[in-house]
Amino acid sequence: MAFIQVKDLRFGYETEDGEGREVLHGVSMTIESGEFVALLGHNGCGKSTMAKLFNGMLMPGKGSILVDGIDTREEDRQLDVRRRVGLVLQNPDNQLVAGIVEEDVAFGPENLGVPPEEIRRRVDDALKAVDMYHYRTHAPHKLSGGQKQRVAIAGVIAMETQCIVLDEPTAMLDPRGRAEVMETIKRLNQEKGITIILITHYMDEAVQAGRVIVMDEGNILMDGSPRQVFADVERLKRHGLDVPQATELCYRLKAAGVELSGSPLSVEECVELFRHLDPERRA
């Protein structure tokens, strides 16, 4: 059984006129344990709503979401859902609540009623997992953006969730901070087997996932590997969506008459493609 099962999910928000506005229109998907999934789409397409639904912060209007077999609509199982799916928000300052890093990471386990000795172990392990153990006695507000986000991720790890949903965690960071957070996410997925659902606007982050789901106006537009999804440049462009820069470059060169095979996803792949290009074609 899939770790997360979404079936015929519909969800809407109340509006001032009382009519309501549906933002998800019968979405269905499954996410397996240990997957690294990137969720893409325009602002307002339903990505952040999906993140809160995965975590049980919001309840389905119609349809269902099962997390490790638990229906998120069961009120007496809400804590069980959040023990399995942790949520990391865009702005880490909204999640940091204590004056010392290790106290902040301990906040979640304390609220779950974890014994003090076990909390100590979890906090140390979580900070080591995100390479922030040496900052355990520092004040969070003195850390860089990337370091703050890694502390926020550590707080979720300390709750020992099986899945982490990250809602644009690098949107407010500089390139170095983005790289730090992405490296942490990949390591948690590859070394600890934690299921990752990454909501992002950055295509260079999306290509690092094992699977890409593209949403458009409350529906799933595309679902496949990064190479499968980004190979269909025309379809993505018709819906006003971006592709990785390397893919975009080769797409434009092909349109200009340069004969290229394949659609690279990274700068490295693009360089390799040009290295093997026939000199006559380059001209």
Convert the pLDDT of each residue in 86-143 to its tens digit.
999 888 888 888 999 999 999 989 988 899 999 999 999 999 988 899 999 999 999 9
pLDDT at 1: 67
144-199 tens-digit pLDDT: 988 999 999 999 989 888 999 999 888 888 888 888 889 989 998 999 899 999 99
How many residues comprise the chain?
Answer: 283
Both structure tokens of 70: 């638990």
What are the beta bridge partners of residue 38? 198, 212
> How confident is the model over 205-215, as a mean pLDDT?
95
C-alpha span between 5 and 64 (Å, rounded): 8
C-alpha span between 115 and 152 (Å, rounded): 21
9-55 tens-digit pLDDT: 999 988 777 677 889 999 999 999 999 999 998 888 889 999 999 99
Question: DSSP strand E in 17-161: where?
Answer: 21-31, 36-40, 62-67, 70-71, 85-88
